Amino acid sequence: MQEHSQVDLIVRHALIITQDEQRSVFEDGALAVDGGVIVALGKTAEIEQRFVAAKRIDASGRALFPGLLNIHTHLFQSAVKGLGEDMAVEQWVQAVTFPTAATMNAEEVYLLSLVSCLENLRSGATTVMDFMYGMRDPALHEAVIRAMVDSGLRGRYTRTIVDRGAEMGILPAMLQPAEEALAHAQALQAAYDGAGDGRLDIGLAIGVIWGMTEAGLRAVRRVADATGMMITMHVNETPYDNAFAQEQWGLNTIPMLERTGVLGPDFNAVHCVHMTDEDIALFVEHDVSVAYCAVSNMYLGSGIPPIARLAGEGLRIGIAADGSGSNNCQDMLETLKFSALLQKVGQQNAGSVLAQQALDWATRDGARALGLGAQVGSLAPGMKADFFLLNPFTAKAIPVHDPVATLVYSAGQANVDTVVVDGRVLMEDGQFTHIDETALLRETQRAAQHLARRAGTERLLATRASWRPV
Ligand SMILES: [Zn+2]
């Protein structure tokens, strides 16, 4: 009789979409997981001959996908969901986001961030890169990190550096000399790199060009080189970025980033809506990666970023929900669909971005954009066991024929019924296994109401109905 190896988890009888190099698909597939890593995958009969597991999940009728990557968000921003509708970005940050950020306390930030994490998981996202504002209070940073760890997600926490911009409404609570902010980022790296059993690491974020001095830009690059932390930054979300850079330095934003040494393979540019030919050539030359925030770009009326073109130039593209302030949720399936649709609109060509391309951005390409391509974004032996099961039996998704088309265009959160991160089953049959979601949602609603009152953002509702369910 053949020896069976003991593993932690077997998921069997699934249609497995691996997203590996060949885009292999296994019908009646199974996957064996041990120590948080995929040890084997193949036909169910073959896997069950080789392994026995402490836990088995029967995935009959369901499809198994690698976990999605949400490569840009602001988890705390669920605080402003429903408060700042219908404004352009500069007006919106000043009226809603900055007053909220300057008022919130650590307990509120924890709850609001944890809710954002749960929605990422509910929509199939297993890796999230957070872009936390440059708050002076270390407790606010630690609250987001704690929420990411407690949620069970894999993630990268990036700490913003903003060293000017008071005249643009950036409040004192979020402004700091670059050297101080960078010292804090390094302290976070020392304390939290590898937190959550190795699921979390730390990076650097540059808020926006109009929040930076030239010395600050150079300092960020210096620290990135010294510590190995990556750099992410909001770039050319609106034409104001270039107007500001021209006025300050006589250069557009991206040439200014090149002059200060900021561009490189470890640089991730968020938005990239307003791009010149020169900008694109510089991105290609420096092999930067791009975070595509389709829903946020539509929500704030920022424009259509030339993502299909950037992808065609060979740049690494990932997709992102952006914060719940400009989305207004963290639904990565919605983001996946709009990521394909917005490019089709921009190009006036239905064939410009195929469903498979959008899925690649959401999985393997997004992982490469974060330098995590050897760990997540596809399913193969040796990769992290981060995946979800899609149950198609809802009116939204049925009938199904092509699993990729179903995921990108017809699926919703109700179809994601099981989520595994690092080999740990975080959600099974639609229920979180580690968090009392109902209690969390009620507590967070109460906290958000209280915060809106203190931040003065409640007055934005003066002419509208105010909804207080708890
Ligand atoms: Zn953002």
Q: How far is ligand 1, taken at its centre, from the CA of residue 1, in Å? A: 57
Q: How far is ligand 1, taken at its centre, from the CA of residue 133, in Å? A: 10
Q: How far is ligand 1, taken at its centre, from the CA of residue 448, in Å? A: 20
User: Residue 437: is it exposed, middle or buried by C-beta count within 10 angstroms (0-12/13-18/19+)?
Assistant: middle
Q: How far is ligand 1, taken at its centre, from the CA of residue 381, in Å? A: 34
Higher pLDDT, 168 or 224: 224
Indicate the range of 92-101, 264-273, 357-366 predicted with least confidence: 92-101
Q: How far is ligand 1, taken at its centre, from the CA of residue 263, in Å? A: 18
DSSP SS3 for 317: strand
The number of beta carbons lying within 10 Å of the beta carbon of residue 455 is 21
Per the domain annotation, does 165 fall within a domain? yes
136 and 164 in a single domain? The answer is yes
Tokens 């995935």, residue?
59
Q: How far is ligand 1, taken at its centre, from the CA of residue 153, in Å? A: 19
Per the domain annotation, does 462 fall within a domain? no
Tens-place pLDDT, residues 126-165: 999 999 999 999 999 999 999 999 999 999 999 999 999 9
Domain that holds residue 113: 68-369
Q: How far is ligand 1, taken at its centre, from the CA of residue 107, in Å? A: 22
191 and 325 in a single domain? The answer is yes
294 and 351 in a single domain? The answer is yes
Q: Which two tokens stand for residue 408?
A: 């990108």
| Residue 63 bridge partners (DSSP) | 15, 390
Q: What is the mean pLDDT of residues 321-347?
A: 96
415 and 336 in a single domain? The answer is no
Given a cut of 70, whether residue 462 has pLDDT beyond it is no
176 and 38 in a single domain? The answer is no
165 and 33 in a single domain? The answer is no
pTM: 0.97
Q: How far is ligand 1, taken at its centre, from the CA of residue 344, in Å? A: 23
48 and 192 in a single domain? The answer is no
Query: Shortest CA distance to 389 belongs to which of 365, 422, 366, 414?
Result: 414
206 and 354 in a single domain? The answer is yes
Look at strands 200-206 and 154-161 and give their pairing: parallel
Q: How far is ligand 1, taken at its centre, from the CA of residue 321, in Å? A: 9
Q: How far is ligand 1, taken at its centre, from the CA of residue 75, in Å? A: 10
Q: How far is ligand 1, taken at its centre, from the CA of residue 323, in Å? A: 6
19 and 139 in a single domain? The answer is no
pLDDT range class, residue 84, cuts 50, 70, 90: confident
42 and 159 in a single domain? The answer is no
62 and 74 in a single domain? The answer is no
Q: How far is ligand 1, taken at its centre, from the CA of residue 29, in Å? A: 38
Per the domain annotation, does 153 fall within a domain? yes
- Rounded Cα–Cα distance for residues 28 and 17 (Å): 11
Per the domain annotation, does 104 fall within a domain? yes
Q: What CATH number is associated with residue 73? A: 3.20.20.140
Q: How far is ligand 1, taken at its centre, from the CA of residue 80, in Å? A: 13
Q: Which amino acid is at 248?
A: Q
DSSP-derived letter for residue 434 is S
Per the domain annotation, does 457 fall within a domain? no
Tens-place pLDDT, residues 201-245: 999 999 999 999 999 999 999 999 999 999 999 999 999 999 999
Q: What CATH number is associated with residue 56? A: 2.30.40.10
Tens-place pLDDT, residues 276-304: 999 999 999 999 999 999 999 999 899 99
Q: How many distinct structural domains can be found in the chain?
A: 2
Q: Say which residues have a Cβ less than 8 Å from residue 192's Cβ, sequence separation at least 6.
A: 145, 157, 200, 202
Q: How far is ligand 1, taken at its centre, from the CA of residue 451, in Å? A: 21
User: What separation, in Å, do the N-terminal and C-terminal C-alpha atoms of the chain show?
Assistant: 61
89 and 224 in a single domain? The answer is yes
Cis peptide, bond prior to residue 328, ω within 30 of zero: yes
User: Residue 469: is it exposed, middle or buried by C-beta count within 10 angstroms (0-12/13-18/19+)?
Assistant: exposed
